[in-house]
Amino acid sequence: MKRTPEPELMDGAEQARAYAQADLSEPNELFLRLLADEVLKVRDSALPQGLADARALDLGCGPADIVVRLLKRYPQLQCDALDGSQAMLDLARQAIDRLPGIASRVRLLCDKLPSAQLDTGAYDLILSNSLLHHLHEPQVLWRSIRAAAKPGALVLVMDLMRPGSAGMAEALVETYAADAPPVLRQDFRNSLHAAFEPAEVEEQLRSAGLAEALEVDVVSDRHLAVWGKVGRKFEV
């Protein structure tokens, strides 16, 4: 099936609210499990046990559900969380302000990638879930990761992968969003049509000079993940 891009930012208040209210615990816990079981075990990682004093970055953080889960699990981690949608960041702020042990460890940044607000060569851990398929120019993500990573930084990017046909996409909508509000069903359908295939992501990594550092794996019936260690300082 041919890719159909969708709008980059989710900046409508109603769309952002519906997304924030959706139960994404299953994919978000998959993300955290991949981080713990695969990414943090990457060979020769210099990151401290429990990520003590490490700096993380979440690109396209949305309402920050993953950021909150991450910071609950790793109580000494600091995280910058960037999104181009102020509506999403308002919801992220509300979620984070309810959790005092977390609020002081998060910096929310409202900006569209590529962003001059991100520190260069500064982050130990770079994360992104469900952003890649929104991008009209996917190299923006890979260039941003290269620029923001400290030498030796660990990376985990997870996203939907594009099914082979519109019928397969529809079957996934029925399986995973049967009872969801119409706005979310349409978002999920659009996202499946906008997502990349694993081979396309591998090609993106080759173009970005990241194919040696990062690997692409299929991690569920609808998700792919890209992970590894960015081993040296990159020229950007």
Ligand X SMILES: C[S@@+](CC[C@H](N)C(=O)[O-])C[C@H]1O[C@@H](n2cnc3c(N)ncnc32)[C@H](O)[C@@H]1O
120 touches 146 (CB < 8 A): no
Residue whose tokens read 């699990």: 73
**147 belongs to the binding site for ligand X (CB under 6 A):** no
Least distance (Å) between residue 232 CB and ligand X: 26
- Cβ(110)–Cβ(16) under 8 Å? no
d(CA 68, CA 91): 12
Of the candidate spans 40-48, 58-66, 100-108, 149-157, the one that interacts with ligand X by CB under 6 A turns out to be 58-66
Which residues from 15-54 bind ligand X, rule CB under 6 A?
A: 24
Q: Does residue number 80 form part of the binding site for ligand X (CB under 6 A)?
A: no
10 binds ligand X (CB under 6 A): yes
Q: Using CB under 6 A, which of the segments 41-49, 70-78, 79-87, 167-175 binds ligand X?
A: 79-87
Determine how β-strand 78-83 pairs with β-strand 55-59: parallel
Total chain residues near ligand X (CB under 6 A): 20
Q: Is-contact 133 194, C-beta < 8 A?
A: yes
Please identify, among the stretches 84-92, 146-154, 204-212, 225-233, the one whose residues bind ligand X according to the rule CB under 6 A.
84-92
Q: Which stretch binds ligand X (CB under 6 A): 40-48, 80-88, 196-204, 215-223?
A: 80-88
- Verify binding: residue 131, ligand X, rule CB under 6 A: yes
The answer to whether 224 contacts ligand X (rule: CB under 6 A) is: no
Edge-to-edge, what's the strand order for the sheet holding 123-129?
Answer: 106-110, 78-83, 55-59, 123-129, 149-160, 223-230, 214-218
Which residue's beta carbon is nearest to the bound ligand X?
62
Distances (CA, A) of 31 to 94, 115, 116, 161: 22, 24, 27, 15
Q: Which residues here bind ligand X, judged by CB under 6 A? A: 8-10, 24, 60-62, 65-66, 83-85, 88, 112-113, 129-131, 134-135
